[in-house]
Amino acid sequence: MKPHYEKVTVLAPARLHMGFIDLSGALGRHFGSIGLALNDINTHLTVTSAPSLTATGPCAARALKAARQLCQLLDISDNIQLELSNAIPEHIGLGSGTQMSLAIGAGLNAFYNLGLSVRDIARLTYRGARSGIGIGVFEQGGLVVDGGRGPDTETPPLLSHMAVPEDWRFILAFDQRGQGLHGEQEVSAFKQLPPFPRSEAERLCYLLVMQALPAIAERNLPYFGEVITELQRTVGQHFAPVQGGIFTSPEVAAGMDWLQQQGAVALGQTSWGPTGFCAVETQEIADGLLTDLQSRFTSEHLCFKVVSARNAGAEVTRI
């Protein structure tokens, strides 16, 4: 199959995974989750023709492996070059694996005009085994809620998609020494966890539907943040036996505790961390807190970044 375009570029946004809703599976569906897309951190790649399969830039080895597997599955030529100008840092809770797989799949789909949907690519690359947030933000951006997995689920269905108020800002805390659980470690960790109480899953579902989502619609950050903080506390305590606490990194936990004292809301750890997050209402507030954080927390391992939510999905450009 020959390329239909000379060049294709794909930008895939990072995401915050704000927590699972039902780890009990009492009604036959497991997981379900809430999260949102981010500006400022992304995977950005270009697909062009080449004599053989090559990849350059950050996370090139991972991109090369994903592209090779997809070309074989789709029975298309791998005479391409992947040029990565940006890549979401791996295994720190920002969705690097899903966004890389979907970005490469979307790039190949456009380059060869294959007619695949994002869900088709997700199935081919085995994304969405637990959470559907990465798929949802690639499709649409914004804040998304997925319905978890039932007996016949291929990819977790998207239940809600809402725009995040443009003024809101999210402060991220990074511990640069380590990575969150992933791969076989993650699978093993889920097997070690105790049963999650059905009553807690019911409570979290109610808070999500009757407080968090209406708060987004009404641009009420304190109410939204209250639910996210409670969801994170509840699920974090459940995961504590395998990750060492509600936060994987004690330094990130200390930063989040200080931010909460300053009025930040929606505090938590994205996925298995170690990245922590919180929300404030404006860029001005975020910038002031960032300055204070950088002077107060001087560990060489800890750093902070202010980002905004992205209310659009991935960008695919054909040339």
HEC string of 177-223 equals: CCCCCCCHHHHHHHHHCCCCCHHHHHHHHHHHHHHHHHHHHCCCHHH
Tell me the CA distances in angstroms from 135 to 51, 120, 144, one per residue in order. Answer: 32, 11, 10
Q: What is the pLDDT of residue 299?
A: 87
Q: Residue 242: its pLDDT value, please?
A: 84
Distances (CA, A) of 65 to 15, 54, 100, 144: 22, 10, 11, 29
The pLDDT assigned to 181 comes to 55
Q: Which domains does the chain have, with CATH numbers?
A: 7-164+311-318 (3.30.230.10), 169-308 (3.30.70.890)
Identify the three-state secondary structure at position 172: strand
pLDDT score recorded for residue 117: 98
DSSP string, 227-244: HHHHHHHHHHHHHHHHHS
With a pLDDT cut of 90, the percent of the chain lying above it is 87
What pLDDT is recorded for position 280?
Answer: 98
Q: Is the pLDDT of residue 185 over 80?
A: no
Burial class (CB in 10 A: 0-12, 13-18, 19+), 110: buried
Model confidence at 284: pLDDT above 90 = yes
What contacts 267, CB < 8 A, 6 or more positions away? 225, 228, 229, 232, 256, 259, 260, 276, 277, 278
Read off the pLDDT of each residue in 285-306 and give the average, rounded to a whole number: 95
Residue 244 is predicted with a pLDDT of: 79
Tell me the DSSP string of 51-113: SS-EEESTTHHHHHHHHHHHHHHHT----EEEEEEE-PPTTSSS-HHHHHHHHHHHHHHHHHT
Does 208 have pLDDT greater than 80?
yes
Average pLDDT over residues 117-137: 97
What is the band of 1 on the pLDDT scale with cuts at 50, 70, 90? confident
Band of pLDDT at residue 186, cut at 50, 70 and 90: low
Average pLDDT over residues 80-92: 97
Give Dmax (Cα) for the chain: 59
Average pLDDT, the chain: 95
Residue 177's pLDDT band (cuts 50, 70, 90): confident
User: Which residue, 93, 89, 33, 14, is CA-closest to 276?
Assistant: 93
Mean pLDDT, rounded, for 139-151: 97
Token pair of 293, please? 């954080």
Cis, bond preceding 214 (omega within 30 deg of 0): no
Q: How far is CA 148 from CA 258, 271, 277, in A?
A: 33, 15, 23
* Amino acid in position 38: L
Contact indicator for 83, 45 with CB cutoff of 8 Å: yes
Query: Which stretch of 154-163, 232-241, 253-262 has the lowest confidence by average pLDDT?
Result: 232-241
Specify the pLDDT at position 179.
Answer: 63
Q: Residues with Cβ < 8 Å from 22, sequence gap 6 or more?
A: 29, 30, 31, 32, 148, 196, 201, 204, 205
Can you tell me the mean pLDDT for 160-187? 85
| pLDDT for 164 | 98
Q: 49 and 203 in contact (C-beta within 8 Å)?
A: no
**The pLDDT of residue 189:** 63
Looking at residue 245, its pLDDT comes to 86
Q: How confident is the model at residue 115 (pLDDT cuts 50, 70, 90)?
A: very high
